[in-house]
Structure 1
Amino acid sequence: MRGTAVAAAIALAYGAGVVTGSGPRRPTAAADGSVLNEAAAKIGRHAAVPVERGDLDRAAIEGMLGVLGDKWATYYSAREYDDVEGRLNGDYGGVGLWLGTKDGDGGRDGRGRVLVASVQPGTAAARAGVRAGDVITEVAGSSVAGWDVGRVAKALRGRLGEAVELTVERGRRTRRFHLVRTPVPEEDVTVTDLADDARLIRVDAFTRGTGRRVRAAVSGESPPGRPGGVVLDLRGNPGGLLEEAVETASAFLRSGPVATYLPRGRQARRFGVGTPGDAQTPLVVLVDAGTASAAEVVAGSLRDRDRAVIIGSRTYGKASVQESITLGDGSVIELTVGRYRTPSGRNLDGVGIEPDIAVSADRPPAVAERRARTVLRGLNATLPDED
């Protein structure tokens, strides 16, 4: 099958254009028997335009991935994957933007325009003058037409200290910003104590250690003091590590299922609560069109288990799981290897999660937060009085 894919990729490369000479030579096997190596060697030797072998390898691998029809399949050079690993470890830079869309659907149909929902104070974007409502048109010189929120967010993140160019439309004017990426605050988990003994826990991505930090905030270990209600903010969270999502959901459940993973050709794997969590404290989860993948595992499990009220706009709808496979030169291919289901068996792929209480993505983020606090007060009022 793999040889067929390679041959198809090479055939596509030569299937158009004008052919000169007396026709193809009689087939001969390459020294190591690899058609791919033979083709690369002959392209390097005979092509009118010089090309590096590394560029040919990348083109061939990306061609093979394209045959899969897997939009999440990706090839990374060794250096590029160092950046990916850094993000999973929480060691990456951002510019301080929360993103939304003009039409509230996350840009899935290619018509939605990604805009700045809010700007985090003290960040590169805030210092440069980026404003909520700015419509993003380019990132790093590339047009974002047809991009969804997750893709724009990924393009804005990268190595600490590196710069990224951002172009926006503000009214009828175009503005360009040179933003230097800075560390993401508090390793992707920020905790804010609110009025009425409530606590806001914002999770920007599910990197290593996220579940532990969320559990500490819920239990009152860090910061100290058990909250009387929790707002779990997953807006703009593109996902991350499945295990960290399971641990985060477990922080709010006593026992039982969290998600089911269905890998190709293998037996289903069921993820459940390991260490019992807090199943009593009133809980609201904030979501939007940028809430995807592992973040949807958390929201979906808490919804199916009747543990939380979901507020915001429909989530992205990504229920696939990717696995990284390292090649001999340190480069990596990332493939979709399975799907997950919520505790009730729902498949969220292409569907997402509809909130219990809808708040338009066009509204400022503070609107959903105020609604969440109102709901928490109502939930607290229904709790039985302590003896």
Structure 2
Amino acid sequence: MAYANSMRFKLPIVSPYRLAEDRQAEFLAAMEAIMLSGTYRTAGGWSRRVAGCVATELRLPASWSVVPTRSGTDALVMALAMAGVRPSDHVAAPDLAYHAVGAAISQVGAVPRWIDVDPGSFNMDVGALATACDRMPVAAVIAVDNYGTPCDRSGIARVCASRRIPFVLDACESLGTPRNATNSVCQADFVALSFSFTKPIHAAGTGGALCLPGHVLDERGGHPGLLLHPRRLPELNAAYLTLAWPDLPMVVSKLRLVYDTYREHLSGTPLTGQDDGGGSNRIHAPFLLPPDTSRSDRDALISRLAASGFEARAYFESQSRLWGTPSPPVSAQLARRVICVPTGPGFPLECVEGVTSELRQALGARRT
């Protein structure tokens, strides 16, 4: 459906993170220093500090390296290239995910093979992945932490390891989620992160990182086809991200509080939330409409919220639908029902009541 210009909304879908006033002055000073020195893109300086922040947050072993990038999509493309994926190879990926995943696969000339998702977590179904890998040759697997909720990393790692398939973890949405032995990102061969403006904290609007074993970077990072240097995160963005990083725990706590408050206010309605196992950062605030909801029903609800000044979105669309191929059944059903409501680090918590009141009225009108 066509969405109205977000400038018309009194409450947009994302209220992004903003630097505190004291750190705004630090960022302006860093900008001046970068511009005077001409060090716009370098492997050192602020980018090195970003790499250190990422390594600490993800608890990466000393043998791993972090490459700050321009975007999470760049990180995915680099991961696939370093994993040895070639044109016409098949890459397995969850059908329900942001289409940057499919775009990265297409950019290396590979063919996406869409895997169904679990109806509770909205993440890749491990059994469906195993079946797909046994039925066709797969050059790599991309698993996604959908809506900030970690996928079954251990299960996916077992499927990949037993078949000697590289495992790329798209952790672009799960920044700031709790880390432990069972969901360690290091169960993957490559990890992609994103620091776009929709994330808990960001790199002045855009940015990403690729995490991988250091020896793999040494062996494959110099390939001329990767164009590694131009894909690096600019220092201006790295400075912003470094100064924002201390706020990550506070921001994730805020996002979780917003989502929990939505769930409390929507108790007793047919809307259901995403299972998270206690480990999601609750980015995007996804909810499922009733099973009998059609796409037109969902779009009418979004339009009603928009008329009241509240922006909501129907994302993510199933990637198979965007690529014009048959959709796995669970993913197709979830994509028709999922709705994301306003949230973000700058979201005013008192606005939850207005959004949920409008949702309750719309759902009640639909039942009658």
Scaled by the length of structure 1, the TM-score of the pair is 0.23
Larger Rg over CA atoms: 1
Higher fraction of strand: 1
Whose relative contact order is higher, 1 or 2, with alpha carbons under 8 Å and at least 6 apart?
A: 2
